[in-house]
Amino acid sequence: MRRTQSIGQRIDWLTLSIIGILMLIGWLNVASATAGASPVDWFDWGSKQGKQLIWILICSVLAIVILNIEGEFFIRTSILHYVINVALLLAVLVIGKKVGGARSWFGFGSISIQPSEFAKPSAALLLAWLLSRGDGKLRNMKTLLQSLAIVGIPAALTLLQPDAGTTLVFGGLIFALYREGLSGNVLIAGFCALLVTIASILTGASMLDYPLIGSQSAVGLLWMIFVTVGLLVWQLIPNMVVPRNRKRVKRTALISLAASILLSAGVHTGLEQLPRHQRERVQVLFGLDVSNPDADYNIRHAKAAIGSGGLSGKGFLNGPMTAYGFVPEQETDFIFCTVGEEWGFLGSVVVILLFTVLLLRILALAERQRSDFTRVYAYGVVSILFMHYLINVGMVLGLAPVIGIPLPFFSAGGSSLMGFTLLVFILLRLDAERFSVLR
Amino acid sequence: MNLRERQWVIGGIILLISLIFIGRLVQLQLGPSAWKDYAARITEEREIIDPARGLILDRSGQILLTNIPSYDLLFTPRQARLAGGLDTLGFSQTIGLDAERLIQELARADAYASYRPSTILKQIPNEEYAQFSGELWRFPGVQSKRRPIRTNTGGYASHLLGEYRETDREDLESQQGYHLGDYKGKSGLELQWEGRLRGKRGLKYHLVDVRNDFREPLSNGAFDSLPVEGENVTTTLDLDLQAYGEQLMGNKRGAIVAIDPSTGEVLAMVSAPSYSTDFLSGKNRGTHYAEMLKDPAKPLFNRTMRATYRPGSIFKMIQGLIALDEGVITTDSRIFCNREIIGCHGNHSLDNLEQAIVHSCNPYFHEVMKRMVQTGKSNNIFQDASDGLARWSPRIKQFGLGTDLGGHLPGLRSGSVPDTTLYNRMYGDKRWAYSTIYSISIGEGELLTTPVHMANLASIMANRGWFITPHTVLDIGGKGKPASLDSLVQTGVNPSAFAPIIQAMQEVVESAEGTGIQAQVPGITVCGKTGTVQDGDRETHSVFMAFAPKDNPRIALSVYVENAGSGGDWAAPIASLMMEQFLNGSVTQKEKEQRILRATYPFSEQ
């Protein structure tokens, strides 16, 4: 009976609607950011909002095509899909054109394609394929290593471009692995690593007067604290816990201590090795004093644009910071500034809520699947979208360092829009098949 | 934990992040307005449209002070940086500014604000600017701004017109709406009528783009205002007379003040040596100012209002008038020229009042004042002199001496008329008598007057007993003369007392033995009085005061020529030329004129 239902009746209309709304709002904001002072020429196909409209139309067609392809096709081609994309990521390192110091784009005349945008869905697909085979649970070491390889290869290749933002997005697939059985300690360890990193950056930038050796970076003091606390834990914990676990606890404490010191030292030296502008971005984020007055230029102007929006904003097409080029990358990575300035707190919260509902909805979709493949894939989709949302909005609000990645369905750019369309509509097709196809 | 329950952990993380974002939005958008202010500061620019400052004109509408275009150069460090830096050396060569100073100015601009223009060079004259304005596009971050500067068309009456220059810290803190870099009147008429000359600045608010270029009016100009032009000030000066006076006083030190006695309007105010106010504006102000400060001739010193001299013989006329009015003498009273009491000059022995003035007889006026001050009404000679002086001083002050003459002349010093308070302070209470202070009887001692007071005295003589407080403004903004300027002051002396004094003044000029015969003007009856004022070891100052014609006088004036000798030698002929110029519109006494023009300070060699 259900087999006779058309795709239109089985598709998840809530997800589809939110994506449609995001694309529309995104497009309006791109138009505003592009137009500057002049009135918007809505159908000037050469302008950014004109191109974006064309991309939206192309992606709509793409979406319809995807929705009409049997889900089985994506499962069966997931390896091929992945291999092709990894090949493209390799190729772009060699023949890609250099934009802003990174080789992330293939240039074809006036059109540029960013292969990493397409590598994201392919990684999610292959991960789903791997984890849905037989007893492909993460409990066995081999599967775990295979999973990490699927995520790690494109992550490493994008880091080589270098495109740290996309690398982080691949790293976000940890969430999918977590749902499939990866130890929760990994998330906790990740959180601890973040704390150690922040502490290292903060202490690394301040100087202390040590007895005997004079003025040195405070990061040394941090390491001394690590060692002291580590030794204390080493001595104390074994007396408090169940004796038979002592060995394991001791081992964990030792490894954590070593990892902390290594990470801290790594961050410290890593920061020294970074190009100056990137190091300054990180320092600015933590409110550290940077001698270069333009170091926090982007983020200062982004915050000013958003902050000046107030409760209800300055009105569509009425934001002077948007119109007159104060915010860089206004129609792509910093598009959220336009929302903040022109639509104010209310508009910004609406966008935040749209993304939240979208993510939670896909989460719900994932959990209603009988098919392991679809569930794992759906978690992959959530992870990727969430990482984009987290990094992009966090950056614009001055909570994360300046890392250029687009806001899904919102930022101008054909490659990313197409990549996200692929990502989500494959899921919608798979979800629509959830009662009719058994896997 | 069941793996399925891990969805709640992931969902929780998503919600947590969204909550953090919303919290941050509350902080940025609903919190304190710092970001709003910052955004306004970088996206809005206020353009100040300076109003044209009112002109200053002479009584016939000829321009004394006007505004001519000049340019300021401004520099925005950020723009230059964005465009890859400024070619400092090329720029310094183009605009003709020393590279070292340019670098200093640029550093100062950078320290002030990197995204905002600051002025690096001020008041470049139009011609100079035209030579390099075409090249300015080569220098990123450099803009020019038109700024009219004040110019003194003929270079005349600089002391009276005063200075117009950049506001200092005091002005900026005065709450009168001055901003950094604004100009204002700092002295003279420019200061006195600043409120009327200044006008009101217009403001235009613009939205700017990231390069700080104006893009569109803010809120469609809702906050903009138009400038209101300053009002023109028409002075009472007669430019032709003023110019002639300055020419006559060339290479000399001294002052001329001429007043229309019937109205109190000042016709000319010459302080020599003079300078052009243009010296004190523009980029060379500093150099000129320092030079003039050092000049021993003190060109910046306004002698008409700030220099105080003893009135000397001229004062005897006032003594005569008051004595007649008090009844201590009559026109026929003769007094022996007793040179044992006080020195005298010339060949006379028993003058009446008229003769005493013509001969400038010192013993005569010593006796006259003694009769007014040491009256014998009190047995104590100290008390007697004190009572007498207490009656005498106020009468002198009614002639305007020792007063600010109504206060219409900016910077006028009052001079001094000694009274009992002064002498009590100098000698002690009841420690002085007439014999202590008698030198004031002949205009010496503690008496001090300015050239303006002396010209005003000439006015009183011309009017036979009253004056209108001297003033320099005829009209402001077409609204007529400010009413407060015309106040009539009576000296309280019976007009009939003036006849013998004026007769004497006529004789000073017309009689063969008169001291002021050089003051004669062909065809016009001139009344005058010479004065000779001691100046320590140096040659005496030559002083003359006069009015003309005798009936229905149209001009009253005083002339001071420093260290030039006796009053009749230099001051009198200058007065003659000034009166002829004003009354006839031209000068026929060419020989007299040539002699004056040739004379230079110091006079001892002539």
pLDDT tens per residue, range B338-359: 898 888 888 888 899 999 998 8
**What is the extent of the structural domain holding A18?**
2-191+291-432
Q: Average pLDDT, stretch A23-52?
A: 83
Same domain? A10 vs A102: yes
- What pLDDT is stored for residue A323 in this prediction? 77
Please indicate whether, in this complex, the C-beta atoms of B36 and A311 are within 8 angstroms of each other: no
List the single residue in B7, B35, B215 with the smallest CB-CB distance to A37. Answer: B215
Same domain? A7 vs A153: yes
Residue B166 CB neighbours (<10 A)? 16
Same domain? A170 vs A59: yes
- Minimal CA separation from A387 to chain B, in Å: 10
Same domain? A106 vs A72: yes
B551's tokens: 């009936």
Q: Average pLDDT, stretch B135-146?
A: 85
- What pLDDT is stored for residue A124 in this prediction? 95
Q: Classify domain B239-290+300-598 by CATH number.
A: 3.40.710.10
Confidence of residue B112 (pLDDT cuts 50, 70, 90): confident
Q: Average pLDDT, stretch B438-444?
A: 91
Does a structural domain hold residue A439? no
Does a structural domain hold residue A170? yes
What is the C-alpha to C-alpha distance for residues B424 and B80, in angstroms, rounded to an integer?
A: 72
Residue percentage of chain B with pLDDT more than 90: 53
Instruction: Name the A residues in 174-233 with CB < 8 Å from any B CB.
Output: 175, 178-181, 184, 187
Does a structural domain hold residue A423? yes
Crossing angle between the packed helical segments A78-95 and A141-160, to the nearest 10 degrees: 30
Final residue before a domain boundary, out of A250, A285, A320: A285
Instruction: Name the A residues in 340-379 with CB < 8 Å from any B CB.
Output: 340-341, 344-345, 348-349, 352-353, 355-356, 359-360, 363, 366-367, 379
Does a structural domain hold residue A317? yes
Confidence of residue B388 (pLDDT cuts 50, 70, 90): very high
- What pLDDT is stored for residue A140 in this prediction? 80
Confidence of residue B493 (pLDDT cuts 50, 70, 90): very high
Confidence of residue A76 (pLDDT cuts 50, 70, 90): very high
Does a structural domain hold residue A129? yes
Final residue before a domain boundary, out of A248, A265, A285: A285
Give how far Cα A373 sits from Cα of A126, B100, B239, B306, B472, Å: 9, 74, 103, 103, 100
Q: What are phi and psi of A207, to 5 degrees?
A: -110, 150
Number of structural domains chain A divides into: 2
A chain contacts of residue B14, beta-carbon cutoff 8 Å: 356, 359-360, 363, 382, 386
Q: Average pLDDT, stretch B321-338?
A: 92
List the single residue in A308, A311, A386 with the smallest CB-CB distance to B39. Answer: A308
What is the C-alpha to C-alpha distance for residues A164 and A155, in angstroms, rounded to an integer?
A: 9
User: Which position has the higher pLDDT, A40 or A106?
Assistant: A106
- What pLDDT is stored for residue A438 in this prediction? 60
Residue A16 clears pLDDT 90, i.e. is over it: yes
Spatial CB neighbours of A118, under 8 Å, sequence gap ≥ 6? A85, A88, A415, A418, A419, A422
Nearest CA in chain A to B215: A37
Cα–Cα nearest to A279, from A205, A195, A196: A205
Does a structural domain hold residue A135? yes
Residue B605 clears pLDDT 70, i.e. is over it: no
Same domain? A224 vs A307: no
Same domain? A160 vs A280: no
Final residue before a domain boundary, out of A250, A267, A285: A285
Same domain? A212 vs A339: no
Residue B327 CB neighbours (<10 A)? 9
Give how far Cα A190 sits from Cα of A158, A360, B368, Å: 21, 22, 113
| C-alpha B402 chain-centroid distance | 19
pLDDT tens per residue, range B143-164: 888 878 888 888 899 999 988 8
Where in B212-282 does DSSP place strands (E)? 214-217, 233-235, 254-260, 265-272
Give how far Cα A369 sits from Cα of A136, A361, A377, Å: 17, 13, 11
Q: Average pLDDT, stretch B512-529?
A: 92
Please indicate whether, in this complex, the C-beta atoms of B210 and A320 are within 8 angstroms of each other: no
pLDDT tens per residue, range A249-265: 778 888 888 888 888 88
User: Which position has the higher pLDDT, B48 or A311?
Assistant: A311
- What pLDDT is stored for residue A282 in this prediction? 77
A chain contacts of residue B10, beta-carbon cutoff 8 Å: 175, 178-179, 363, 379, 382
B197's tokens: 């000359």
pLDDT tens per residue, range B392-426: 999 999 999 999 998 899 889 999 999 999 999 99
Interface residue A336 vs chain B (CB under 8 A): no
The predicted model scores a pTM of 0.68
Q: Average pLDDT, stretch B372-395?
A: 91
- What pLDDT is stored for residue A1 in this prediction? 41
Residue percentage of chain A with pLDDT more than 90: 43
Nearest CA in chain A to B111: A293
Same domain? A301 vs A165: yes
Q: Which of A188-197, A384-393, B107-116 has the lowest mean pLDDT?
A: B107-116
What is the C-alpha to C-alpha distance for residues B17 and B27, in angstroms, rounded to an integer?
A: 15
Does a structural domain hold residue A165? yes
Please indicate whether, in this complex, the C-beta atoms of B6 and A184 are within 8 angstroms of each other: yes
> How is residue B309 annotated by DSSP?
B
pLDDT tens per residue, range A192-235: 888 888 888 877 777 777 777 777 777 778 888 888 888 887 77
What is the C-alpha to C-alpha distance for residues B597 and B491, in angstroms, rounded to an integer?
A: 37
Instruction: Give the alpha-carbon dihedral of A90, A94, A100, A106, to 10 degrees.
Output: -70
Q: Identify the residue among B5, B13, B43 best suited for mutation to test binding to A, counting A beta carbons within 10 A and taking the highest.
A: B43
In chain B, domain spans: 42-68+149-235, 70-147, 239-290+300-598
Confidence of residue A2 (pLDDT cuts 50, 70, 90): very low
Q: Classify domain B42-68+149-235 by CATH number.
A: 3.90.1310.10
Tell me if domain B70-147 and domain B239-290+300-598 are identical in fold: no
- What pLDDT is stored for residue B161 in this prediction? 92
Please indicate whether, in this complex, the C-beta atoms of B36 and A305 are within 8 angstroms of each other: no
User: Which position has the higher pLDDT, B116 or B378?
Assistant: B378
Confidence of residue A397 (pLDDT cuts 50, 70, 90): very high
List the single residue in B39, B207, B209 with the smallest CB-CB distance to A305. Answer: B39
User: Which position has the higher pLDDT, B229 or A286?
Assistant: B229
pLDDT tens per residue, range A263-308: 888 888 888 887 777 777 777 777 676 666 666 778 888 888 999 9
Q: With the C-alpha atoms ordered A214, A217, A218, A224, is the resulting torsion angle positive or negative?
A: negative
Q: Average pLDDT, whole number, for chain A?
A: 86
Spatial CB neighbours of A36, under 8 Å, sequence gap ≥ 6? A323, A324, A325, B209
Same domain? A277 vs A259: yes
Burial of B60 per CB tally in 10 Å (0-12, 13-18, 19+): exposed
The pairing of strands B466-468 and B473-476 is unpaired
Same domain? A35 vs A161: yes
Contact present, B277 and B587 (Cβ < 8 Å): no
- What pLDDT is stored for residue B23 in this prediction? 94
Residue percentage of chain A with pLDDT more than 70: 93
Cα–Cα nearest to B89, from B78, B77, B98: B98
For the segment(s) B70-147, the CATH number from 3.20.20.70, 3.90.1310.10, 3.40.50.10680, 1.20.1640.10 is 3.90.1310.10
Radius of gyration of chain A (CA): 24
Please indicate whether, in this complex, the C-beta atoms of B42 and A325 are within 8 angstroms of each other: no
- What pLDDT is stored for residue B284 in this prediction? 67
Cα distance from N-terminal residue to C-terminal residue, chain A:
19
* Number of residues that make up chain B: 606
Same domain? A73 vs A172: yes
User: Which position has the higher pLDDT, B410 or B524?
Assistant: B524
Residue B527 clears pLDDT 90, i.e. is over it: yes
> How is residue B51 annotated by DSSP?
P
Helix (H) or strand (E) holding B515: none
Give how far Cα B76 sits from Cα of B83, B88, B182, Å: 11, 14, 19
Same domain? A185 vs A263: no
